Structure 1
Amino acid sequence: MLSCKASDNIKLAIPRPKIDGPKLFNLLDKQREYFEYYLPWLKLTKVVNDEVEFLQMTNRHMGTNDALNLVIWYQNEVAGMISFNHFDNLRASADIGYWLGREFQGKGIMTKAVKCFVNLGFEDYGLNRIIIQAAVDNETSNAVAKRAGFIFEGTLRQNELLDDVFHDENLYSLLKNDL
């Protein structure tokens, strides 16, 4: 099984849809108001089976090398997810997306997960460039990018649709030779 050990307490692993799906759904559902603004796709995740089907789809995308979604585990509990949302094979690049349950935030989990994921991307997937795009007002996501060593490249104007309004996004990147 593909997995990445970020620390003694943090690991990233391929989703097991029928096992991890209910856990991820419950984590998101109990904090729906907190997450929906920055994760607009959550509005489409209404019941457990929606999450199970999503994980099945992400595993198919992994099989076709289109994307990679992994579950973040912290002290043997499902804590969130991290993904390469799309592999751009011509540019040897990918963009990272991530979310973490509120009770797991503030412990350095996501920063370690991103660093582990970056290594996986450079070493196992042959990437040269990895990007993170974060809404300008998403302080937590911007802080993760900075702590993980990503370089701020600029702001993309009205690049993300959140709550039916376009928002500016900060663009960060990390190159293989930056490490």
Structure 2
Amino acid sequence: MLSLPLAPDAELTSLEPWQADEFAEHIDRHREHLEPWIPLAHTVTDTESARELLQRYAERQANGAGRLLGIRQHGELVGAILFPQFDPAAGNCELGVWLAPHAQGHGLITKAAQLMIDWAFEVRGMHRIEWITMPANERSKAVAKRLGMTLDGVMRESYLFGGRRHDAEIWSLLVTDPRPWN
């Protein structure tokens, strides 16, 4: 299994369909925290829906069109990082993340994002990485800033989520932009 260190007690690992029980339990345990921000907290409701999501990402990864990795702390699945959109032909992708409340504040999301950004630019030859967040998600915006991303703008009421329309802030990092961790 893929495993990259994020901290002495944390790692970035693969998430595969055979781990659907653990993934479903993780989402269920943190659903209240995730629901305001993460659409999949509304769609992953049991082991079967978790397996379907993990299978879709396994197929995307096999086709070079996406990736979903778990963040583990002390062996426990505490979050994930993913490329929900990944278009190598256009050189554009979107990076998304989430983390359980008890694992926040240790730099795990920032370190995982740095690894994924470096991989997307240096290995896959991407040109632009987007970070999309709700304007009210201050923690997400803080990560985008730490990653050296630029706020491109706000797409007003651009997506339907939780039964209502939401604005989306679009942050980006270009391959030519400085990366604060390099």
TM normalised by structure 1 equals 0.89
- In the aligned structure 1, how far is the partner of 2:158 from the partner of 2:9? 35
Query: Is residue 79 from structure 1 mapped to residue 82 from structure 2 by the alignment?
Result: no
Say how many residue pairs are matched: 178
Per-residue displacement from partner, 1:32-55 (whole Å, max 9, x unpaired)?
Answer: 122112222322222123212211
Instruction: Tell me the secondary structure at the aligned position of residue 66 of structure 1.
Output: coil
- In the aligned structure 1, how far is the partner of 2:8 from the partner of 2:175? 25
Change in Cα spacing, 1:151 to 1:4, as seen in structure 2 (3 Å) is farther
- In the aligned structure 2, how far is the partner of 1:47 from the partner of 1:166? 26
Matches for 1:43-62 after TM superposition, within 5 Å: 43-62=42-61
Structure 2 unaligned spans of 5+: none
Mapped contact 1:4–1:117 kept (Cα < 8 A): no
Change in Cα spacing, 1:125 to 1:17, as seen in structure 2 (3 Å) is same
Greater shift, 87-96 or 59-68, is seen at 87-96
Q: CA deviation at 1:84?
A: 1.0
Partner residue of 1:97? 96
Instruction: Tell me the secondary structure at the aligned position of residue 6 of structure 1.
Output: strand
Partner residue of 2:152? 153
Per-residue displacement from partner, 1:37-76 (whole Å, max 9, x unpaired)?
Answer: 2222322222123212211221111001121111112233
Mapped contact 1:136–1:167 kept (Cα < 8 A): no
The letter of the residue matching 2:71 is I
- In the aligned structure 2, how far is the partner of 1:122 from the partner of 1:173? 13
Matches for 1:13-162 after TM superposition, within 5 Å: 13-19=13-19, 21-162=20-161
Instruction: Tell me the secondary structure at the aligned position of residue 28 of structure 1.
Output: helix
Mapped contact 1:112–1:148 kept (Cα < 8 A): no
Mapped contact 2:33–2:100 kept (Cα < 8 A): no
Instruction: Tell me the secondary structure at the aligned position of residue 152 of structure 1.
Output: strand
Greater shift, 163-172 or 4-13, is seen at 4-13
Change in Cα spacing, 1:77 to 1:41, as seen in structure 2 (3 Å) is closer
Q: Point out which structure has higher relative CO (alpha carbons under 8 A, 6+ apart).
A: 1
- In the aligned structure 2, how far is the partner of 1:55 from the partner of 1:100? 17
The letter of the residue matching 2:119 is L
- In the aligned structure 2, how far is the partner of 1:93 from the partner of 1:5? 26
Instruction: Tell me the secondary structure at the aligned position of residue 37 of structure 2.
Output: coil
Mapped contact 2:120–2:126 kept (Cα < 8 A): yes
Deviating beyond 3 angstroms after TM superposition, the runs of 4 or more aligned structure 1 residues are 1-10
CA RMSD of aligned residues (A): 1.8
Per-residue displacement from partner, 1:1-41 (whole Å, max 9, x unpaired)?
Answer: 5554334433322213223x222222210221221122223
